[in-house]
Structure 1
Amino acid sequence: MYHPLFNNPEIKEQICEIGRRVYDKGFAAANDGNISYRVGENEVLCSPTMICKGFMKPEDVCMVDLDGGQLAGERKRTSEILLHLTIMKHRPDVKAVVHCHPPHATAFAVAREPIPQCVLPEIEVFMGEVPLAPYETPGGQAFADTVVPFLKSTNTIILTNHGTVSFGKTLEEAYWKTEILDAYCRILLLAKQLGPIKYLDEKESTELLDLKKKLGFDDPRFHVEDCDLCSNSAFRDGYQEQMPKQRAFDPAPQYPGYLQTKSASQPSVDTEAVVQAITEQVMAAMNR
């Protein structure tokens, strides 16, 4: 099969390079994991099925359309490409998707343990809350659809009893999300061996969100009124009745929401109007 967009050596090599990094980091054993990159309106390059990502070559890469139909390539596309395509359909800004099984993050997936917030500054600024998609047998559309309720507010999702999926505008960005997540999960597990983790206080947490907003990064806590700083999930609507409960770590402190904190620190519209009215009256009296 031939397709004009299939001749893209740079992207194919990038897919292979990310595959080598995933394999070398121990994020994908044997034939685990898959990688994709959108090269056209309806064309996606992806890793094939049954291949070790650490030994993948550009000629192994194949091409599919957004419905999963294979357009080009000598090897058969991965069955889990539907997960990648579903993400791309719901998030037109996403061009790259990386799915693998990083061991520390996957430990949280297997334990079905939500990842604590308000612990590490880099995570608060560059990642934020990481949701746990409900379990479904991998490979089909039902499995792919498990991530849909969470796509609006994150670029990183833990797949329950399975692994992780991260995505972004470039392959490097998508891969970095996975690496950051697994490093954080490793730190949490190591810290737990020393004792309970210590959460950042309300002031420290608010300052990090201020920094995040200043840097131009979005966060559900900027928009969800009843989402507090550290413990209430911004993804509760997606979880419905399956919202995960924290068991391995002490519960996060109950701080007011970011929006509530900001509104409390600023005068309300009515107060400003009163102040303005009084000022006008004083000025008028002085000019008589």
Structure 2
Amino acid sequence: MDPMDRLPLVVAIPTKNEAENIARTVSSVIGHVQAVVVVDSHSTDDTCKIAAELGAETVEYTWDGRYPKKKQWCLDHVHPEIPWLLFLDGDETPSPELLGELRSVFAGGAPSVAAFDIPLGYWFAGRRLRHGYTIVKRALMDRTRCRFPEVGDLDAPGMGEQEGHYQPVAASAARLRSPIEHEDLDPVNTWFDRHNRYSDWEAWLELNPQVKEQIRKVKTRQGRIFHKVPFKPLVSFGYAYVYKRGFLDGRAGLDYALAMSFYRWQIGLKTREQRRPGP
């Protein structure tokens, strides 16, 4: 594609050991945007080698244990001369429909809103889910008008260098229709390993209500509502499998609803364990 016809944005891909997925992610955007940058946290596999061979820039990232964390670092340092930045995980690709929608968005010049929320086309256990949870992430933003909040969770386990489950703060935002496809080619046990760590962070928040309230305020509307409901494992399963008709996705829909319910159960169990008085 002629460089003059490329979308006026940079794609940042935060990675660590994504050799299984990174080729597909880089290939999906290279040539469509001004720059593709893999921001890598000392991978021990061929993540950077594969990305560089496909034309992406690679940058090594080392977290210093403080804020800013990794995504805000990307906003501050990855091609700062290009205001608009799209975040993709190492196992994500923009759908062809999304690329077309982005061309329409930028056809009239820089958008007036500061950020765009983009739905995820979520894959689980090898199948694309059409129902169940609706996941939306604020992935495209004008870095001059957006920033990830600095919440008091540096002592929390589970997240480390990555920002937690909250949105970047934007002066204004709109929602796009077309999805980012989130398809992880790694075995499903990596999903459970990752969510086991996430549940450590979520349990820590339950024991630190001031930080939990900070994070609640910067979640999506759906996230803010779910933050307060009781019996989260049961509500999570009922919402995804029954109300959002996850059963229409067959076995994969059942597996995902159960997995998310188990994740909520883990958070509650870890919280109760830590609240018990010691010996």
Q: Same fold (TM over 0.5)?
A: no
Higher relative contact order (CA 8 A, sep 6+): 2
Structure with more helix by fraction? 1
When Rg is computed on C-alpha atoms for both structures, the one with the higher figure is 1
Q: Could you state the TM-score of these two structures normalised by the residue count of structure 2?
A: 0.34
Q: Could you state the TM-score of these two structures normalised by the residue count of structure 1?
A: 0.33
Structure with more strand by fraction? 2
